[in-house]
Amino acid sequence: MINKNANIIVTGAAGFIGSCMVSFLNQQGYEQLILVDEFGDQDKTPNLVNKKFILKIERDELFVKLQEEKIKIDFVFHLGARTDTTEFDYRIHQKLNVEYSQNIWNYCSVNSIPLVYASSAATYGNGQQGYLDDNTLIDELKPLNPYGISKNEFDKWVLHQEDHPPFWAGLKFFNVYGPNEYHKARMASVIFHSYNRIKETGKVKLFRSNHPDFKDGEQLRDFIYVKDIVSVCYWLMQHQPPSDIFNLGTGMARTFNDLANATFAALDKAPSIEYIDMPEDIRDSYQNFTEAKMDKLKKAGYPADFFSLEKGVDDYVRNFLSQHQYY
């Protein structure tokens, strides 16, 4: 157990998942938090309003500041990354998602600090090898974009390390949605964009299928509510099962039509869906089906059920988007 006085680092703390992690830790009574991010982005500033923490550190200054401050760190949630799947300059992903993560890992290893880090379902590429979080398959995965490649390269590197934190877990996040993604613009969830489109036009626009096996709007994704993400991260911190890389989705793929219908229902409106052509820059790297195999996390002991798509969307729309609230 990590006690309430623990000093906990959260990287990516001003971002979508990171700020939700900070809020969840605050709710559990943890306030000795060290937040790491690029804090110059004013669009992310509201994510941290009313959050409790002891220190904010710019991402590039982290290791120098830790040396200067002489703070004993008890746990690290490494949730910061360059997550833009349309950024095709791999050097950016290499620096931020691979090399920076290696520095975090090495710091935790040398100082015996437990670590939870964010990987991604983007590592699975088109799913040709399936969605099984079997470490023996990681070398065979073929991600479809530089972001997915960088996440997979770090996972591969982790599995070859002789020196490691006393506990570590990598989490392959599937399609995460929920509050505090207002700043993400194009990279925000389809639910966020659908909500705004319905409010403006009364309709939702979904991509036409680019594959004969899928009808328009029937592409399938494993959508997971951010509240489930932070719950799993917290459980891993408290229970520290055998170290591993885990999938983190619901285990239940749902269609984009289901998602749109759930958004209309949360707004108490009748569905109206229009299908549009998929942008060329994502067409070749588009995942038509993702579904997390969740047996490993369940066998590790995680006890809770996940939000259904309908319940997650309803909570997100009614309690956050409709009121422009933050988590």
Instruction: Compute how many other C-beta atoms are within 10 angstroms of the C-beta atom of residue 276.
Output: 10
Choosing from 147, 195, 316, 327, the catalytic residue is 147
Do 192 and 260 contact (CB within 8 A), yes or no?
no
Candidates 3, 27, 41; CA nearest to 13 is 41
Structure tokens at 179: 């509050």
* Residue 235: CB atoms within 10 Å: 18
Of the residues 52, 65, 184, 293, only one is catalytic, namely 184
Phi, psi of 173 (to 5 degrees): -65, 135
Per the annotation, the verdict on 184 as an active-site residue is yes
The answer to whether 246 touches 292, Cβ cutoff 8 Å, is no
Answer yes or no: 147 catalytic.
Answer: yes
- Report yes or no: 87 and 141 within 8 Å, Cβ to Cβ: no
Does an H or E element contain 297, and which? helix 295-300
The answer to whether the CB of 237 falls within 8 A of the CB of 75 is yes
Residue 272's nearest CA partner among 197, 219, 218 is: 197
Q: How many helices (H) and strands (E) does the chain have?
A: 11, 13
- Angstrom distance (rounded) from CA 39 to CA 53: 14
Active-site residue numbers?
147, 184
